[in-house]
């Protein structure tokens, strides 16, 4: 049995123990959260976190480089016959993003294998088509080209990073919404000081044309109606909108000239001579909106146009199958048949993987206030003479240019001769 004194002694001992416990085990040290700050060069911090997704927590706290962009090239127009409305940034900065700031920012990181560069910028409108095929399409205010028959029109949005490899050679990574994003890569190119070429074995897209190099020859392929599903690298699974992307393809069907004759006789009174929906009896249903009519498969056209709710039903049902085929070709050619198709038949992919926030399953454009987010991931060392090697045992500093385009193939804004610094671990 404990005495009263013993009990008090135990209580004091317990108190002292708890007091000692408190002093011996202070609360764990919690570092203050890192507050991101703007830097004057692009700094890549070392991390073991593998920040290979846009939403990775690393990017919330990383420092960022704000690019005060300048005009790089302006006033250029393509001289290719039949290639129209591909130069949207004649005046450079005032034309980019409808004159609103691009808010172009870069963030970077590296680990033992890879360099990660996250790029964000504003662009009010997704421009997804590159050289789409239009029949009797609109003219180009900057060019005097004839617009009768097939022309190739429109352009996409691009991001370029160009690294100085010395002796006027450069490694150029081009992220293209039309050509590279669907497969989850950036186009890896090499500038030898005279020509820019795609790296050997890295081409993942092909021009969809009847005659090589002829921008008036018309499309060779169209969508075959099978949902376009694709498993990509870091970018993961996607479905590709057949209004803009061609992966599952078949030979382009129908005679567009004959189709146009039927269209003008049977459909134009409501849908308009130019497919703008404003005929003599306006249908208020336009065909000349990018992507909209080519994402309808041939198999489902018949049901839609012969639906009892369709005012033009009676003009469609008497047509022969051949006439319908020709007419659908004509409607596709109002919307624009994709100017390229995707191809990875060689099985070799570029080294530069890309993850972006674009939704490719159904592209709606314009998308007001859209901010592009693109993450590029490349091994530090590739071993290829056409690639820059980030050999950190030799140098922690690299020189690069960055460019943006907005529905324009030639004119660019951005900033040249910037430095990418790998911070020591
Ligand atoms: C009398 C006026 C009229 C004529 C003629 C007409 N259409 Fe239409 N069409 C409409 C209207 C109105 C709509 C929009 C409402 C709807 O979908 O029914 C439409 C919609 C359509 C659509 C979109 C259907 C969908 O579900 O997305 C297609 C395709 C179409 N028309 C094809 C044709 C073709 C091909 C012809 C010629 C053979 C034709 N139309 C003739 C009035 C007409």
Tens-place pLDDT, residues 233-242: 899 999 999 9
Q: Which residues contact 297 (CB under 8 A, 6 or more apart)?
A: 223, 224, 225, 242
Closest ligand 1 atom to residue 296 Cα is: 27
- In the predicted model, is pLDDT for residue 1 greater than 50? no
The whole-angstrom separation of Cα 122 and Cα 406 is 10
Q: Contact, 284 vs 311, CB < 8 A?
A: no
22-45 CB burial, b ≥16 within 10 A, e <16: eeeeeeeeeeeeeeeeebeebbbb
Whether 309 lines ligand 1, by a CB cut-off of 6 Å, is yes
Closest ligand 1 atom to residue 263 Cα is: 37
The whole-angstrom separation of Cα 279 and Cα 264 is 10
Nearest to 372 by CA among 61, 182, 86, 104: 104
Residue 181 is predicted with a pLDDT of: 94
- In the predicted model, is pLDDT for residue 20 greater than 50? no
Cα 316 to ligand 1 centre (Å): 9
Please state, in angstroms and as integers, the Cα–Cα distance from residue 121 to each residue in 44, 113, 190, 224, following that order: 19, 27, 25, 35
- In the predicted model, is pLDDT for residue 2 greater than 50? no
Q: Contact, 390 vs 161, CB < 8 A?
A: no
Whether 325 lines ligand 1, by a CB cut-off of 6 Å, is no
* Cis amide bond preceding 366, omega within 30: yes
Question: Tens of pLDDT along 176-228?
Answer: 999 999 999 999 999 999 999 888 777 889 999 999 999 999 999 999 999 99
- In the predicted model, is pLDDT for residue 104 greater than 80? yes
Please state, in angstroms and as integers, the Cα–Cα distance from residue 263 to each residue in 22, 26, 93, 185, following that order: 86, 82, 41, 40
- Residue nearest to ligand 1 atom 37, measured at CA: 267
């Amino acid at each position: 049995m404990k005495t009263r004194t013993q009990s008090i002694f135990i209580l004091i001992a317990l108190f002292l123990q708890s007091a000692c416990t408190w002093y011996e085990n202070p609360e764990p040290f919690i570092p203050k959260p890192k507050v991101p700050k703007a830097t004057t060069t692009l700094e890549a911090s070392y991390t073991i976190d593998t920040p290979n997704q846009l939403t990775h927590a690393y990017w919330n706290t990383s420092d960022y480089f704000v690019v005060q962009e300048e005009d790089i090239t302006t006033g250029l127009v393509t001289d290719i016959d039949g290639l129209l409305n591909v130069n949207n940034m004649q005046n450079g900065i005032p034309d980019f993003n409808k004159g609103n700031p691009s808010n172009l920012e870069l963030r970077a990181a590296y680990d033992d294998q890879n360099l990660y560069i996250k790029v964000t910028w504003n662009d009010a409108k997704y421009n997804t088509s590159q050289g789409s095929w239009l029949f009797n399409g609109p003219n180009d205010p900057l060019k005097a080209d004839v617009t009768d028959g097939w022309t190739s029109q429109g352009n996409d949005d691009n991001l370029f990073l160009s690294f100085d490899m010395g002796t006027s050679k450069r490694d150029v990574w081009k992220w293209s919404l039309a050509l590279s994003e669907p497969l989850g890569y950036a186009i890896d190119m090499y500038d030898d000081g005279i020509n820019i070429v795609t790296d050997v074995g890295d081409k993942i897209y092909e021009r969809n044309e009847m005659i090589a190099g002829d921008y008036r020859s018309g499309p060779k392929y169209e969508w075959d109606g099978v949902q376009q599903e694709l498993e990509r690298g870091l970018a993961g699974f996607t479905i590709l909108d057949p209004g803009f992307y061609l992966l599952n393809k078949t030979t382009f069907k129908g005679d567009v000239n004959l189709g146009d004759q039927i269209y003008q006789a049977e459909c134009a009174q409501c849908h308009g001579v130019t497919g703008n929906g404003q005929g003599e009896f306006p249908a208020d249903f336009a065909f000349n909106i990018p992507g909209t009519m080519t994402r309808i498969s041939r198999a489902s056209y018949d049901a839609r146009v012969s639906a009892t709710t369709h005012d033009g039903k009676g003009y469609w049902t008497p047509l022969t199958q051949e006439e319908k085929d020709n007419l659908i070709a004509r409607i596709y050619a109002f919307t624009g048949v994709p100017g390229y198709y995707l191809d990875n038949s060689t099985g070799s992919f570029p080294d530069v993987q890309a993850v972006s926030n674009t939704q490719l399953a159904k592209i709606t454009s314009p998308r007001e206030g859209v901010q592009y987010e693109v993450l590029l991931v490349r091994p530090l060392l590739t071993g290829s003479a056409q690639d820059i090697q980030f050999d950190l045992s030799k140098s922690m500093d690299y020189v690069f240019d960055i460019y943006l385009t907005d529905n324009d193939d030639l004119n660019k804004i951005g900033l040249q001769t910037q430095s990418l610094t790998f911070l020591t671990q």
